[in-house]
Amino acid sequence: MSEFQNYAPDENNWKEKRQVVQEIPYPEFWTPELALKWAKEIPEQLEQDYETPLIELDLTAEGYGKILIKNEADRSINPTGTMKDRLGRSVAALYRSNARWALEYRENDPEYAQRFPEMRIPRYSMLTAGNAGMALANTFKSLGLPQPKLLLDKHTSPQTIEKLKKAGADIYVVDLATNPFSDLPSDQAPLTPGEILTLTNNRYGKDLTSSNSEEDLIAPEVIYYQDLAEQIFKETPDEIYVPYGSGALFGEIVVRQNFNVWDVDEGKIRSQVAQTKILGAEPKNPNSIADKLTAPAKPFPTQWEKALNIYKEHGETNEETGIEKIAEEDIITAYELLKRRGAPLGIETEPSATAGLALYMRRWREGKIKKDAKIIVVNTGKGVISDPKEIEISPRQVPKNLL
Non-local CB neighbours of 309 within 8 Å, separated by 6+ positions? none
Judge contact between 241 and 202, C-beta under 8 A.
Answer: no
pTM for the full model?
A: 0.86
DSSP assigned state of 185: B
Task: Give the CA radius of gyration of the chain.
Answer: 22
Rounded to 10°, the helix 32-41/84-108 angle is 130
Give domain limits for the chain.
Answer: 14-45+84-210, 54-83+220-402
Instruction: Write down the pLDDT at residue 169.
Output: 97
Q: Find the distance separating the first CA and the last CA of the chain, reported in whole Å.
A: 54
CA nearest to 118, candidates 207, 27, 206:
27
pLDDT for the residue numbered 268: 87
Give dist(CA 203, CA 214) in Å, integer: 23
Helix (H, G, I), strand (E, B) or coil at 173: strand
Maximum C-alpha span of the chain: 73
Domain 54-83+220-402 sits in CATH at 3.40.50.1100
Which stretches in the chain have pLDDT values below 70?
Answer: 1-12, 210-223, 298-303, 384-403
Enter the DSSP assignment of 208: -
Whether the domain at 14-45+84-210 and the domain at 54-83+220-402 fall into the same CATH topology = yes
Q: Can you spell out the DSSP letters for 330-361?
A: HHHHHHHHHHHHHGGGT----GGGGHHHHHHH
CA dist list (Å): 222 to 104, 124, 156, 269, 371 = 25, 13, 25, 26, 36
> What is the spatial distance between Cα 189 and Cα 199, in angstroms, rounded to a whole number?
15
Q: What is the pLDDT of residues 271-318, one digit of tens each?
A: 899 999 999 999 999 999 998 898 777 665 566 777 888 999 999 999
Q: Domain spanning 14-45+84-210 has what CATH number?
A: 3.40.50.1100
The DSSP line for 268-285 is EE-HHHHT-EEEEEEESS
**What is the per-residue pLDDT for 237?**
97
